Amino acid sequence: MESITVVKLGGSAITDKARDCTPNIPVIQHAVEQLARYRHPIILLHGGGSFAHPLVTRSKLERGFIEKTQRLALSETELNLDQLARVIGATLLFNKKPFVPLHPMGFVTMRNGRINRCFLDPIRKSLELELTPLLHGDMVFDNERGWGVLSADKLATLLGTQLKVGRVLLGCDVDGIYSRNPKLSGEARPIVEVTRATGPSLIRNLAREPSDDASGGMLGKATEALQSARRGIESIVFNLKRRNALADVLDGRWTPSTRFVPWS
């Protein structure tokens, strides 16, 4: 099988994060149209955005099982994520892109917030049959904490270590990673490339930035991209809302973005 590309549709781009459970249909449609023209193996991930993060944060689900009242919030989160996956799936179907939805809660477990076990045969078989696996960031069971958040970024790293992944493309709502939050600071400058030498300082800078993202925000994204770089996998963080940006990164053309250079 030829090298696989992991594509993540970030929740900040494909949902309206100011309104619970509101998809950004034009962004989803444009992203899927670009994917439908690509003729090589893809694993498609998506974030939860407003379908998951507000409820997860309000109910403190990211802290694990604390009290019984959280159980309904867990159920609602799973239902919400399924609804978003259905919107994306219906758009894939409309564009004649064969896919199969797979839910991480059913094939990944964690221990103390770290991935413990996973069963990836359904993903492998999907790719063999030229189906696009459609996955998302999810709540998964944790052997110590009861449950925890498995971000789509962390899932991308897992797939990179276990499958023949050549690159990871992380779509968001800004032109890559910045020195500071570009939505809050006029002094933010874009970071075009991250190397083995510059990675640690980037993580330190991002750790100082506030975030209400239950899955880790840009800090989580950069941390996982560096993990992939250590394993020889290129990652590119780009603006999914920018017209044709996904097609550009898929085909190796330049678009405003941040590239994590593989170490080996």
pLDDT, block means (10 residues), the chain with 264 residues:
93 95 98 97 97 96 97 98 98 98 98 96 98 98 98 95 94 92 80 95 84 68 94 97 98 96 89
pLDDT at position 233, please?
A: 96
- For the entire predicted model, the pTM comes to 0.94
pLDDT at position 264, please?
A: 75
pLDDT at position 27, please?
A: 99
CATH class of 4-260: alpha beta
Q: What 3-state DSSP class applies to 229?
A: helix
Question: Which DSSP string corresponds to 90-127?
Answer: HHHHHTT--EEE--GGGTEEEETTEEEEE--HHHHHHH
pLDDT at position 188, please?
A: 81
Alpha carbon 16 to its chain's center: 16
Identify the bridge partners of residue 133 per DSSP, sorted by sequence position.
Answer: 100
pLDDT at position 182, please?
A: 81
pLDDT at position 177, please?
A: 93
pLDDT at position 216, please?
A: 56
pLDDT at position 138, please?
A: 98
